[in-house]
Structure 1
Amino acid sequence: MTDKQPVNTPSGTGPAQSPNSGIRLIVWFLTVFLFSYFWLDMSQTQQRQDLSYTEFKERVRAGDVATVTMQGAQVTGTLHRPEPVTGANQAPVSNRFTTTLPPIDDPQLIPLLEEQGVEVRARAEEGSWWARLLVGLIPWLLIIGLFWYASARMQERMMGGGGAGGLFGFAKSRAKRFERGQSRVTFDDVAGLANAKRDLREISGYLRDPEHYRKLGAKIPRGVLLMGPPGTGKTLLARAVAGEADVPFFSISGSEFIEMFVGVGASRVRDMFESAKKEAPAIIFIDEIDSVGRARGTGLGGGHDEREQTLNQILNEMDGFDPHETVVVLAATNRPDVLDAALMRPGRFDRKVTLDLPDRPAREAILKIHSREVPLAADADLARLAALTVGFSGADLENLVNEAALLAGRTGRNDVDMTLLLEARDKVVLGGLREMVLSDEEKNLVAFHESGHAVAACMLPHADPLDKVTILPRGRALGVTEQIPDVERHNFKQSYLYDRIGVMLGGRGAEKLIFSEVSSGAEEDLKQATNLARHMVTHWGMSDRIGPVAFRRGEEHIFLGREMAQQRDFSEHTAEVIDAEVSRLLKAREEDIAQLLERHRALLEALAKMLLEKETLEADEIQKLVAAHPPAST
């Protein structure tokens, strides 16, 4: 069961900055600025002599005035010689002065100044002192506000990722740090996966009591790699290990190491491992490690590639564990085939745990865990639902239960019954119902198409049992034919694969039989059939002409915005032979299905007619039609 997300705390050392510190910095700067502004203005004012207008004109007539600056009614200027000092303790008087013009213009002033050779300057009248203050202060406020905003946003981003805050905290680790006891997930919350839990119990036991294992001479594995398809519970299992061991837990995704700045990934790796070592015993969990752990030497940047530098730092840190440092690195991936060999060797990831899709008992247990807080009706049969969810992962089952609860809330129900559970299962598998209106001609075509799939599924001996057929548009399909495997298959026989291709081609065969032409509705069927046939020929040796050989097909990967094709390991002639074999296999199955549908044309037409009436047919209704329409004699 998914636990609630705890509050993230930074894994880097040092106190994190807060927005209040930025506000205090701005207030401090404004105080200093205002004090400096007023002190400078007052000091300049005190250094000037304040002359009356009469005294000013007398000084002009006496030839003492050198320059005059007029700014509105305010006149400032300089004297040729300052006032003489009369006392020994008096400071010298400045030669700068200021005066104010009378309200009425003096027509004699300008001629007098010109007569005495005074240099006259004029300036535009300025506003009040507070307007001048704002003009000088606003640019500084904008600059400081921009820096503070950038720092706050960077801090929020780092704190959201678990890293240290501050403007320059991007080199700190972004790992989410779970304190002791915060990870309330234990192995009891993980259904199934008995073998994986057995291997990981030793890890949690060692972290909880390392001295017991040291006395036995046992060394803790430095790394454990969790491998399995998406949704099988790799992250949940890692949190369960931390919950069982009751130790600090550092969680990060491999993609969070990489930034546009060179060396940032390696710096974050160092910071994360340093933080974990300080709090040992501890667990480091790296999710999707294949994003940084891919095989080196395949990129365009070579050894200077940021991803490869990050991987090198991870390898160095895992080699640097001392025996007394009880730090375990758990990593998860669904692509173990692309990981670097140095990362996979013993001494780094000593133990590799494979997680598979849950079997039927495990699915039932998972459904019970996820429905503990859901009020189930008396008819809710989780055992039957587990049988109908072959191929579901743990995440799929959790989503199914949640969808059923949402449907119950939408319809105003107080509990979740089996009908809602089955409807939620159909929504997860087939997609939601689409609000689109088909014409009678299109509906008739879809009915025969789905009937062709259904007839092939019923009559082919090795096909999976038929469960439901519908012509209601769901997801991206106009109609759906659903089969439920009766057993858990991990190995596929050739006969089963042939019949599976036959079911895929049944819809197209029915269109060709009834309408003498085919439509575009079989596009997805042809894609799946072609991929399966090619896999049979190139990987499983199910072609007499090709023989028991497995070929690797070229795969395209996107790296640094460019498509990089992986070279195939066979010649052009072999490629032509493979294409010919795939085409031959599909054409042979198409002919077999055409003959089968011809023999069961009465059943095909009856199924299509009932589908047009009811739109959805269950397995028992289809079996009644099968029993009532025997094959035609040949």
Structure 2
Amino acid sequence: MTSPGNNQGQPPADNPQASVPKQYSFLWLSAAIFLMVLWLQENRQPHLQELAYSDFKSAVVNEQIAEITLKEDNITGRFTDRGKASFRTDTGERDSEGFHTVRPPIADDSLLPLLEDHGVTIRALPTGLTWWQELIRGFLPWLLLLALMFWFWGAAQKRIAPGGLFDFGRSKARRARKETSTTTLEDVAGIESAKRDIAEIIDFLKSPDKYRALGAVMPKGVLLVGPPGTGKTLLARAIAGEAEVPFFSISASEFIEMFVGVGAARVRDLFLEARKEAPALIFIDELDAVGRSRGAGLGGGHDEREQTLNQILTEMDGFEAHENVLVLSATNRPDVLDSALLRPGRFDRTITLDRPHRDAREAILNVHVRKVPLAGDVNLAQLAGRTIGLSGADLKNLVNEAALTAARENLNSVNAHCFDVAHDRIVLGQERDSRLSPAEREVVAYHECGHAIMAYYMPKADPLTKVTIIPHGVAMGVTEQTPREDHYHLTESYLKDRIKVMLGGRSAEKIIYGEVSTGAQNDLKEATTLIRRMIGQWGMSEKIGPLGLSIGEEHVFLGREMGLPREFSEKMAELIDTEIQAQLVALEKATLEFLTEHRRQLELLTKAVLEKETLSLEEVGEVIESEKKRKTA
């Protein structure tokens, strides 16, 4: 069952990867020149016929050899005219001026007299290399090896520190300029109170004398807090587009490296650059990457992250007054931030961004559809009412998915059907093909119709929207509910009706088949989590009483591993578990009784959903109301 529940890049010249192809080109060019020199050295010699040593001595006797050159055991020489004709005829090889042969290792004392007797000119070359050749042969391999090592070292250094080894501690912050920024406050909708706070800060940067005349001091830090997708980074981009001061943007994780002290050095360099161009703005995204509470980890107070945090604290409130540098940060985990960051004098102001309400969602949709051609049947106000729980990023994705659907169907404009498809894709998941057997398909139908009937009848539950047995995402079937309005306070009756809807699928299987399947795994997990919070955190149990205990939270087990004391005893834990079990059993019993009473409607609704696969609220109502009329007739 499913209920509906944003870096500017560096310029190419600063990219460390840009220099690597140039280095590769230089290496390949050097190798090509070296191979070409070898090829020329090899091919500058004329073609020489290979002669056997015995044939060579016979040619000397027959006066077919004009001259020879001796170099160790190698003999090269030139034929006489008679020798040319003879060897061309006898061997069939092409005409050649010379020949080559090798003396056998056994000494031949008769060779020199034989050559002199037949008038052969004899030349000899020195057997060793010259001093410069020996120098090259000895040192060239080592020079090549050292050059290769230095090249790899330089390439790795540029990947880590683009500016070189001495640039390792430089800040990686990107500077945004007003003339290049395309986002302004007009592109930010649904967070009007946050925009007013930001507009005041921008006005202070533009005309500080107006505020100083009244004794006002600009905040040193502004912390943007909110769930993912609520517009924290978008708001920072809008500030970069609106402010007429330098704007430095960086992610907190970019401070951290494997070497201790690098993060603190980068923080110092960032604030130094900002002070040089003050007044200036610094935006640190995902502050919790370095701003977590100190002393809670295994690294003590000397690890890289805590040194970086200490440097941020010092720069924001050190011995020097940085009154013209404002630090803007964003996080979705303010609960894990160090208390020293949040005190006045550091982050003086906190701006909370929550998921948008209905009017805010409509305003956000109006911003994102500016460049989208809409059909006449699109009602943004109605669409805003259907998207309760979606963040600003979700709504942007909704509009984009609708436009993609229209393009896929070759439409000239985006109509309401495209938004319906996009909504189902985001809320329910991607529709996929079913590979279920008829029997499994029937089980899924009964399961989803059990959810649907409970959602249809429970007075406090979120209204039913549709029920489908078409698989979406990882679910084999989906029952969609849409709240009537945004919920800020949840009552006990609402939560119990919600749990009954969750248990409706499992209860329907038990009534029809006498047993349950694994399809209720997620329903049981959500129901158990919700009832645990009701009992332990929200005081919705007569036996436990009005206690708010730290149970059902994300970091309970981590706290126990770190040796932190638990807030309640083992006896209380046992009592809580017993109460959770008792309430879940009671709610399941009530659900079973209700579905047993409405079994005929369950069977008819299942038959209808097996035929059509998807039923809207109106179609579900027709099936249920027709059976009620037949029963009362």
For these two proteins, the number of residue pairs brought into alignment is 541
Instruction: Report the alpha carbon displacement of residue 215 of structure 1 after superposing the two structures with TM.
Output: 2.1
Please state if 1:140 is matched with 2:143: yes
Query: Does the residue aligned with 1:629 lie in a helix, a strand or coil?
Result: helix
Instruction: Tell me the C-alpha RMSD between the 2 structures.
Output: 3.5
Partners in 1 of 2:588 and 2:270 — Cα distance? 58
Residue in 1 that maps onto 2:295: 297
CA deviations on 1:606-632 (whole Å, 9 max, x unpaired) are 111111000001111112122212297
Structure 1 stretch displaced more, 236-245 or 505-514:
236-245
AA matched with 1:589:
L
Give the one of 174, 179, 182 matched to 1:181: 179
Residue in 1 that maps onto 2:582: 584
AA matched with 2:550:
R
Instruction: Report the alpha carbon displacement of residue 352 of structure 1 after superposing the two structures with TM.
Output: 0.6
Matched-pair contact (CA < 8 Å) for 2:20–2:155: no
Instruction: Report the alpha carbon displacement of residue 383 of structure 1 after superposing the two structures with TM.
Output: 1.4
AA matched with 2:569:
S
Structure 1 stretch displaced more, 485-494 or 165-174:
165-174
Residue in 2 that maps onto 1:439: 437
Residue in 2 that maps onto 1:601: 599
Query: Does the residue aligned with 1:482 lie in a helix, a strand or coil?
Result: strand
Partners in 2 of 1:180 and 1:136 — Cα distance? 57
Matched-pair contact (CA < 8 Å) for 1:448–1:511: yes
Instruction: Report the alpha carbon displacement of residue 165 of structure 1 after superposing the two structures with TM.
Output: 2.4
Give the one of 413, 416, 419 matched to 1:418: 416
Give the one of 203, 214, 217 matched to 1:216: 214
Matched-pair contact (CA < 8 Å) for 1:266–1:310: yes
Matched-pair contact (CA < 8 Å) for 2:316–2:322: no
Give the one of 615, 620, 623 matched to 1:622: 620
CA deviations on 1:532-582 (whole Å, 9 max, x unpaired) are 0001011100011111111113754899xx975765311111111111111
Mapping of 1:178-577 within 5 angstroms? Answer: 178-320=176-318, 322-323=320-321, 325-553=323-551, 555-556=554-555, 567-577=565-575
Matched-pair contact (CA < 8 Å) for 2:160–2:168: no
Query: Does the residue aligned with 2:210 lie in a helix, a strand or coil?
Result: helix
Partners in 2 of 1:558 and 1:153 — Cα distance? 41
Partners in 2 of 1:456 and 1:201 — Cα distance? 48
Partners in 2 of 1:224 and 1:263 — Cα distance? 26
Matched-pair contact (CA < 8 Å) for 1:380–1:418: yes
Query: Does the residue aligned with 1:303 lie in a helix, a strand or coil?
Result: coil
The structure, 1 or 2, with the larger RCO (C-alpha pairs under 8 Å, 6+ apart) is 2
Matched-pair contact (CA < 8 Å) for 2:402–2:421: yes
CA deviations on 1:399-421 (whole Å, 9 max, x unpaired) are 11111122222222222111011
Query: Does the residue aligned with 1:302 lie in a helix, a strand or coil?
Result: coil
Structure 1 residue ranges without an equivalent (≥5): 35-69, 75-102, 109-122, 159-163
Matched-pair contact (CA < 8 Å) for 2:449–2:505: yes
Matched-pair contact (CA < 8 Å) for 1:299–1:305: no
CA deviations on 1:237-277 (whole Å, 9 max, x unpaired) are 11212222122221111212111111111111111111111
AA matched with 1:525:
D
Instruction: Report the alpha carbon displacement of residue 213 of structure 1 after superposing the two structures with TM.
Output: 1.8
AA matched with 1:217:
G
Q: Runs in 1 of length 4+ with deviation above 6 angstroms?
A: 15-18, 20-24, 103-106, 123-132
Partners in 2 of 1:19 and 1:622 — Cα distance? 65
Instruction: Report the alpha carbon displacement of residue 323 of structure 1 after superposing the two structures with TM.
Output: 4.9
Partners in 1 of 2:471 and 2:130 — Cα distance? 74
Query: Does the residue aligned with 2:628 lie in a helix, a strand or coil?
Result: coil
Partners in 2 of 1:193 and 1:536 — Cα distance? 31
Instruction: Report the alpha carbon displacement of residue 598 of structure 1 after superposing the two structures with TM.
Output: 1.1
CA deviations on 1:132-155 (whole Å, 9 max, x unpaired) are 858844553454345445545654
AA matched with 1:572:
E
Matched-pair contact (CA < 8 Å) for 2:205–2:243: yes
CA deviations on 1:301-337 (whole Å, 9 max, x unpaired) are 1111211111101000101385564111111111111
Mapping of 1:56-67 within 5 angstroms? Answer: none
AA matched with 1:303:
G
Partners in 2 of 1:71 and 1:319 — Cα distance? 83
AA matched with 1:477:
A
Query: Does the residue aligned with 2:168 lie in a helix, a strand or coil?
Result: helix
TM-score, length of structure 1 as denominator length: 0.78
Percentage of matched positions with identical amino acids: 53
Instruction: Report the alpha carbon displacement of residue 486 of structure 1 after superposing the two structures with TM.
Output: 0.4
Matched-pair contact (CA < 8 Å) for 2:467–2:480: yes
Instruction: Report the alpha carbon displacement of residue 392 of structure 1 after superposing the two structures with TM.
Output: 0.3
Given the superposition, is the C-alpha separation of residues 154 and 483 from structure 1 closer, same or farther in structure 2, using an over 3 Å criterion?
farther
AA matched with 1:260:
M
Instruction: Report the alpha carbon displacement of residue 17 of structure 1 after superposing the two structures with TM.
Output: 12
Structure 2 residue ranges without an equivalent (≥5): 1-5, 35-69, 75-102, 111-125
